[in-house]
Structure 1
Amino acid sequence: ELRDIFINFFERRDHKFIPSSKVYTPEDPSLLFVNAGMNQFKPVLLGEQKKKSLFTNVRRAVNSQKCIRAGGKHNDLNDVGHDLTHHTFFEMLGSWSFGDYFKEDACKMAWLLLTEVLNLSPDRLYVTYFNGCPLNNLKPDYDTREIWKSIGVNHNRILPFGSTDNFWEMGETGPCGPCTEIHYDRIGNRHVPEQVNKSLSDVVEIWNIVFMQFNKVSISQLEPLNVCHVDSGMGLERITAVMQQKQSNYDTDLFVPILSAIEEISKVGPYKGRVGEEDTNGIDAAYRMISDHIRMLTVAISDGIYPGPKGRELILRKVLRRAVLAGIEKLQTPRPFLYTLLPTVVESLGCAFPEVELKQDEVMEVIKESEMAFYRTLDRGDLIVRKTIKNLAGNEFPPEVAHKLRLQNGYPLNRMLLFLSQEKLNFNMMAVDSFKKQSSEKNLNKKSFSFLDNEEDRSSLIHSFLKQKFKPTVCVNSAKRLGDHQFTIAPVSAKLCGIVNDEELNLLKGNVENLFLLLDKTNLSQPFHGKFSNIGTIYLHGRAFPVVNVINLDGWFLHEITTTDLNVDFLQLCSGNLVTVEQNEEYELTLIRTHSAKQMLKDTCRKII
């Protein structure tokens, strides 16, 4: 309802409704995610829009933009769950003027909507303005101060602030300018200007109006824009809490259904809204973290981002793993659990963003598969920690083991510390950091690889090495149609080119549990979106090696095999020999049927729409 009120208010004032963009912009490498409503309008603000575009001849606009702040300049990830206001995903209700009206009209419309349409008391509102920045030779924005006075805002509720609070920048470069903010006092019947911009939940910012006057070229260089613009934004989650008279965003109807769904699978009792020291076991923080993260994951994956090894995909994987750990460690949720929350999220967001509802099944599949992969990582790490503790001579956990678990296996350090505290063992974090530094220096001259929690530079290093030594893997489609609704999947004969483990390529000794086999061709190829790998088996000299994952490094396919009794020397001697690659027929046919059904559904939807 609030979303509709906002959009209708500005539409009646000649603003054109513009649908939300996706939460990432491939054409803008400066941004990991869309972090504000103005991102899709950046070409307009810089005067670089194409002659025939969605924004041609648009002078005023309004929309509700999907935003993610979990990386880059605007990063709220570490705050989520620990307070009552921050989110990784949120909706930004926004209105724009592209060279049309400027400061006075923008302030008047915002005040009118808040005080006369939403009926918020002016005695609970404070406004701020930019107080200047000598470093960039920027003068105070006294024009805005005088505008607020002319509207009728009491002078002791008009407050000056510096660049940190009242100069808005989209990123390290790009459109920017001074802003004026509107803050709301949840308690009322008092005068507390000292609490504005103090990160207190009682006085919160609800609206930010940015006056786009500059283009930031570098950290100290601002260039005036040829035409000035207005970008105003109001977070839906915060204004919803205000209108529903809730102290927390998580107590609104945007989050309560999700929290209720989590309660149904939790074994530690209901959500109680505790924060800080009152939340002694971190249970309520875990509730908030999961409810926030599942919204972010749902929107991001439905927009085509998938958990992966680098960039925004890596952030998505971290968010998913944070939510999973919060569930299994704090709330005692079952395995897997996160994907089961999707229907509740879709019910809340689907009406505003149809793509969320259309891709619900696909998003559930991606989250479930990512969950299961992380559980395998946790189980392997738990086993190593327990074995190390069992064989420990002293009372200090070896820092080299901790370093390898964290850096190479992607095993959460906090989880390992839980084991150590239970056993009353010591742990030297400085020694672990020292190993990390030594490893970084060593990697400058040595190719060391890991796949379980990959970083972008490591993937590039592996890819570069494989490119020099081997030809790309040839992908073979071995599924053949026999007739209507009938398929057969033939095995493929391939050559074993090389072996990769957590340490070296083709320099392996001893017994290990995880290897990655490089073949010259395969029928276990990874789909384009990187969501799943076809699962199968590799046969070599009568021995069967189950394939649990396939990693595609730009055409070089690495097949992960897991075994507890594999002697690496055996495979090393067999390098260059022929192997047989066999798909799991039931698994592959399920994927074929699912893909066909989705394609039929999409075609039908296109015809109807």
Structure 2
Amino acid sequence: MTAPSSSLGSPSKQPRWTATATRTAFLEFFKSRGHTFWPSSSTIPYEDPTLLFANAGMNQYKPIFLGTVDPQSDLAKLKRATNSQKCIRAGGKHNDLDDVGKDGTHHTFFEMLGNWSFGDYFKREAIGYSWELLTEVYKIPKDRLYASYFEGDPRNGLEPDLEAKNIWLDVGMAEDHIVPGNPKDNFWEMGATGPCGPSSEIHYDHVGGRNAANLVNKDDITVIEIWNNVFIQYNREESGELRPLPAKHVDTGMGFERLLAALNRTLSNYDTDIFTPIFTRIQQLTGVRPYSGKFGSQDPDGIDTAYRVIADHARCLTFALSDGGVPSNIGRGYVLRRILRRGARYARKKLGVELGSFFSSVIPVVIEHQGEFFPEITKKYNDIKELLDEEEQSFARTLDRGEKLFDGFARVAQTSGVNQLNGRDVWRLYDTFGFPVDLTRLMAEELKLTINDAEFEEAQAHSKEVSKAVVKKGGKEAVKLDVHDLAVLEKNENVPKTDDSFKFGPGNVTATIKAIYHEKSFATSTSELPENSSFGIILDRTGFYAESGGQEYDTGSITIDGVAEFAVENVQVFNGYVLHIGQLKYGTLQAGDEVFAAYDELRRWPLRNNHTGTHILNFALREILGDHVDQKGSLVAPTKLRFDFSHKAPVTPAELSKIEEICDTWIKRDVPVFSKDVDLKTAQKIVGLRAVFGEAYPDPVRVVALEFDVEDIAKDVTNPKWRNTSVEFCGGTIRRLIAVTGTEAREVSRTATTLEAELEFIDRKSGKDKDTALKAYTVTLATADISVVRKAALRDRLANIRKNFDSEVKAAETAATKKAVDALEAFFKETPDAHVYVARIDEAQGNAKVLQTISLKAKALDKPAYLLSVDSEGSKIAHINYVPKSLITPQFDAKVWAGVVTKIIGGKQFLTLSRTPGGRKDDSIQGVGSEPKRVDEAVEAARLFFSNRS
């Protein structure tokens, strides 16, 4: 692609159409035509496991199209809707990540303007609205617009959609601007089954003054699709058959960024005020030349490409993380990590950025310019900044080493004449340095190299098999030093106790292997060990944190770049010797080798946070429960913390709520954490000091404090203000608190919020639906992993709803009974000559207790009666009768009478309610039938049989 030429009208500093004006015009147009504004759903589709990200405007309306929408919900009431949906296409079926930066139209994040009709208007209105908006509101010249329509599909028995073509002619589009489209382009399907239908795309010609019909859907950058109208009129059955839907829908989507580029007469979406403020911010941060809109060979230094990549990725990360996305090594989290690392590498390589907090410095301008329409992105900047900085700093520390190793691999590929990177080397870049394969591929393309994908997949598969084998053999628990091993080490002057002071600093260090330990013996080289075995390595120094004080161990790697790598899966300390336990991934290591020991920083970050969280929790417990609280144990893991303490009584929900509030307040204050070694006697005098009862602490002891510098505390240990913060040594009945943190905390909170919404929805139900839902919810709530405080509140709310519901049911039952009894009395009073009362009691809703009460009234009046009632779900029918003793004969009693009804409504089991004196004949029978639709037939049969009884 070339830079936008002047013949297309280069955008001026003051755009013809701003982003805000363009979006507003679209929404106001459709709101004026009866469409309800329905806010964008999250980019993270928590309720749709089939999607990595929301990738189209219709995602949140799938329940309507599929017919699964809750009829009581606001969504079910929609007939016409409009919005601008936040979309991400960077993984799965729709993935534009690799194209971002290379052209002017692809993005990982974009907005999708849309209007929808749910069983309301159809093709004529949808096409008419599109034409009117584009030509009369946006004033796009009619000769620049083209429409495609479905050309038909004989294999599926589908005729061409000439209806759509004719509507385009009717609204005023020239016939030679209307082109047929194949099923791939013009027949939309949700999936292998489900709603589907033909579509009509609208394309824009950036050049004009020509007939560009032959360029529609031909991947020409000057003729692009801007809008798609989908007419959902069929359902794809499991058999593959297409069946017409009873209600027809319209689903449209217009690319906001592409529309804005068209309105401003530029080929590139990046030459609009969506991106120009971000470019300005990037230039301010980096000092590089301004963005000039060059592409491909016209951008030899890659600076313009870097501008586009960083601006796009900053937008994507802002929205995804605001919606609860978190970079990780799996699923959508890994996609977000790839996006950040791809952008970070461009920033460092092309713009000379020193990584650490670059992306978090760019996103404020995204928030500033898009926060008014999407206010959710304005509320979580601090969370986003923390996540981005952690990720960026971690990648920065491996980027130099990874690139150096890549350069070596690349030289081998170039000098060999193959010009292809070895797939095993590409896997090592990913496995050791976190280089996503698409990032390595990008780096390779810059040098005109390719990747041997088959070798990469083979190396990946082999690594997984090795990991499985180690796990089966016991892996992490298989290597321990006992007293005899320690005696050997003590006698060996060449193996000093490990200096682990580096764990309090950046952590990653260059070290020397002092010993290799496997199954009760020490080896000089890994070549002496069985393949795929677990073993331990002792270094002279380490930044790894060994499991201690309740905090879990670090994981990471010990490497000689390009030569060997040892995966550290566990770290334990034995009498001062830190043993790094794990498996050799490749190469050979031996005693005396100089290695690089690097822990997994992204695992350490939450461990570090949760360690501080434990200190905060300890402080909060004493504040609320009293100074008698003593820590008895703890666990600090990446996703949660556990705290055991002494307390005379269970902690109440009210107390827990106050404890949570104190913890949240300290976390939000974001005060610094200070630590320093202090002599033990001095440290023990600090006011408000907390330590584990009975623990033996070293002298000097490490003191950790929040907000106040430990050095200042040590100079004035008796100052009472230290009592107002957490000061701890770090090194009755027991109670336990468990707190989840980070991603898991967000998930737990989201689960609680979902449960709250679900309970509100259940409360709007009625009848048996509500009863069934309340019973199911009781089980769900009991097993839900959510905050104790929120669970207690939900239990109270549930109890109130159940109590009110039971009262309503009882009141309704009483009212129904009275009404039915009154009707029976009135019947015999108004028709004294009547011989029998046979009735369908609708108000009883199939309630046998109500029917029994009415039957007892008939018995009190000594009048025969047969009563039938269908339940509220229409799934069964309850019935009961009474026959006075004076009417019972050998040929007729309650059981015989019930048999006549049962033949019609089904059911074979009878419940005899009473018999005549002596127990010879049944005078009252109750039963349940399975054919409620035949209730009226049964009523007539019961009445007729009584009249004709002999």
TM-score by length of 2: 0.49
Structure 1 match to 2:393: 372
The structural deviation recorded for 1:510 is: 8.1
Asked whether the equivalents of residues 24 and 34 of structure 1 are also in contact (C-alpha less than 8 Å), the reply is yes
Structure 2 match to 1:176: 196
The structural deviation recorded for 1:227 is: 1.7
Asked whether the equivalents of residues 540 and 579 of structure 1 are also in contact (C-alpha less than 8 Å), the reply is no
Structure 2 match to 1:410: 434
1:221 and 1:293 map into 2 onto residues whose CA distance is 42
The structural deviation recorded for 1:140 is: 1.7
Deviations, residues 406-428 of structure 1 (Å, cap 9, x unaligned)? 34432366987999999x9x999
**Larger fraction in helix:** 2
Q: What aligned pairs does 1:352-371 form with structure 2 within 5 A after superposition?
A: 352-371=373-392
1:74 and 1:229 map into 2 onto residues whose CA distance is 24
Structure 2 match to 1:140: 160
Query: Does 2:351 correspond to 1:331?
Result: yes
Q: Say if 1:142 and 1:525 are closer, same or farther in 2 by CA, change over 3 A.
A: farther
AA at the equivalent of 2:534: N
Query: Does 2:557 correspond to 1:541?
Result: no
Partner SS, residue 335 of structure 1: coil
1:55 and 1:557 map into 2 onto residues whose CA distance is 41
The structural deviation recorded for 1:341 is: 0.4
Q: What aligned pairs does 1:92-171 form with structure 2 within 5 A after superposition?
A: 92-171=112-191
Partner SS, residue 95 of structure 2: coil
Aligned match for 1:230, one of 246, 250, 265: 250
Asked whether the equivalents of residues 77 and 88 of structure 1 are also in contact (C-alpha less than 8 Å), the reply is yes
Structure 2 match to 1:251: 271
Partner SS, residue 260 of structure 1: helix
Partner SS, residue 433 of structure 2: coil
Aligned match for 1:351, one of 372, 379, 402: 372
The structural deviation recorded for 1:120 is: 1.4
Asked whether the equivalents of residues 377 and 411 of structure 1 are also in contact (C-alpha less than 8 Å), the reply is no
Q: Say if 1:504 and 1:344 are closer, same or farther in 2 by CA, change over 3 A.
A: farther
Asked whether the equivalents of residues 93 and 234 of structure 1 are also in contact (C-alpha less than 8 Å), the reply is yes
Q: Say if 1:22 and 1:195 are closer, same or farther in 2 by CA, change over 3 A.
A: same
Query: Does 2:314 correspond to 1:294?
Result: yes
Query: Does 2:74 correspond to 1:54?
Result: yes
Deviations, residues 176-234 of structure 1 (Å, cap 9, x unaligned)? 32110111112222211112112223222121111112345679565543321001111
Structure 1 match to 2:717: none
The structural deviation recorded for 1:267 is: 5.1
1:419 and 1:90 map into 2 onto residues whose CA distance is 26
2:445 and 2:77 map into 1 onto residues whose CA distance is 64
Aligned match for 1:340, one of 358, 361, 365: 361
Asked whether the equivalents of residues 291 and 304 of structure 2 are also in contact (C-alpha less than 8 Å), the reply is yes
AA at the equivalent of 1:164: K
Asked whether the equivalents of residues 31 and 82 of structure 2 are also in contact (C-alpha less than 8 Å), the reply is yes
Asked whether the equivalents of residues 23 and 67 of structure 1 are also in contact (C-alpha less than 8 Å), the reply is yes
Asked whether the equivalents of residues 290 and 323 of structure 1 are also in contact (C-alpha less than 8 Å), the reply is yes
Deviations, residues 497-548 of structure 1 (Å, cap 9, x unaligned)? x99xxx968335687999987859834699xxxxxxxxxx987534689884
Q: Say if 1:106 and 1:466 are closer, same or farther in 2 by CA, change over 3 A.
A: farther
Query: Does 2:534 correspond to 1:506?
Result: yes
2:409 and 2:267 map into 1 onto residues whose CA distance is 47
Q: What aligned pairs does 1:313-462 form with structure 2 within 5 A after superposition?
A: 313-336=333-356, 337-382=358-403, 400-411=424-435, 429-430=451-452, 433-434=454-455, 436-441=457-462, 443-444=464-465, 447=468
Q: Say if 1:334 and 1:190 are closer, same or farther in 2 by CA, change over 3 A.
A: same
The range that moved more, 192-201 or 43-52, is 192-201
AA at the equivalent of 1:156: D
Asked whether the equivalents of residues 550 and 636 of structure 2 are also in contact (C-alpha less than 8 Å), the reply is no
Q: Say if 1:10 and 1:467 are closer, same or farther in 2 by CA, change over 3 A.
A: farther
1:116 and 1:29 map into 2 onto residues whose CA distance is 41
More relative contact order, 1 or 2 (CA 8 Å, 6+ apart) = 1
Q: Say if 1:467 and 1:20 are closer, same or farther in 2 by CA, change over 3 A.
A: farther
Partner SS, residue 395 of structure 2: helix
The structural deviation recorded for 1:278 is: 1.8
Deviations, residues 297-342 of structure 1 (Å, cap 9, x unaligned)? 1000000001111111111111111111111112222223121101
Partner SS, residue 27 of structure 1: coil
Q: Say if 1:448 and 1:373 are closer, same or farther in 2 by CA, change over 3 A.
A: farther
Query: Does 2:28 correspond to 1:8?
Result: yes
Deviations, residues 127-176 of structure 1 (Å, cap 9, x unaligned)? 11111233433322111111111112111011101122212234555533
Q: Say if 1:469 and 1:580 are closer, same or farther in 2 by CA, change over 3 A.
A: farther
2:117 and 2:321 map into 1 onto residues whose CA distance is 31
1:185 and 1:584 map into 2 onto residues whose CA distance is 69
The structural deviation recorded for 1:366 is: 1.2
1:252 and 1:427 map into 2 onto residues whose CA distance is 34
1:79 and 1:382 map into 2 onto residues whose CA distance is 22
Q: What aligned pairs does 1:176-255 form with structure 2 within 5 A after superposition?
A: 176-216=196-236, 222=242, 224-255=244-275
Partner SS, residue 44 of structure 1: helix
The structural deviation recorded for 1:93 is: 1.0
1:335 and 1:406 map into 2 onto residues whose CA distance is 19
Asked whether the equivalents of residues 394 and 602 of structure 2 are also in contact (C-alpha less than 8 Å), the reply is no
Q: Tell me the C-alpha RMSD between the 2 structures.
A: 4.5
Structure 1 match to 2:901: none
The range that moved more, 280-289 or 320-329, is 280-289
2:208 and 2:355 map into 1 onto residues whose CA distance is 45
Structure 1 match to 2:59: 39
Total equivalences in the alignment: 519
2:369 and 2:258 map into 1 onto residues whose CA distance is 16
Asked whether the equivalents of residues 399 and 428 of structure 1 are also in contact (C-alpha less than 8 Å), the reply is no
1:183 and 1:401 map into 2 onto residues whose CA distance is 44
Partner SS, residue 56 of structure 1: helix
Partner SS, residue 146 of structure 2: strand
Asked whether the equivalents of residues 167 and 176 of structure 1 are also in contact (C-alpha less than 8 Å), the reply is yes
Structure 2 match to 1:550: 603
Unmatched segments (≥5 aa) in structure 2: 1-20, 479-516, 519-530, 555-570, 581-598, 608-634, 640-694, 710-724, 727-740, 750-950
Q: Say if 1:219 and 1:289 are closer, same or farther in 2 by CA, change over 3 A.
A: farther
Unmatched segments (≥5 aa) in structure 1: 450-461, 471-497, 527-536, 560-577, 603-609
The range that moved more, 332-341 or 312-321, is 332-341
Asked whether the equivalents of residues 181 and 207 of structure 1 are also in contact (C-alpha less than 8 Å), the reply is yes
Question: Larger radius of gyration, structure 1 or 2?
Answer: 2
The structural deviation recorded for 1:247 is: 2.4
2:299 and 2:153 map into 1 onto residues whose CA distance is 40
Deviations, residues 100-133 of structure 1 (Å, cap 9, x unaligned)? 0111111111111111111111111111111123
The range that moved more, 161-170 or 18-27, is 161-170
AA at the equivalent of 2:435: Y
Structure 2 match to 1:605: none
AA at the equivalent of 1:341: V
The structural deviation recorded for 1:289 is: 1.1
Q: Say if 1:295 and 1:51 are closer, same or farther in 2 by CA, change over 3 A.
A: same
Question: Taking every aligned residue pair, what percent have the same amino acid on both sides?
Answer: 40
AA at the equivalent of 1:153: M
Partner SS, residue 6 of structure 1: helix
TM-score by length of 1: 0.74
1:420 and 1:238 map into 2 onto residues whose CA distance is 30
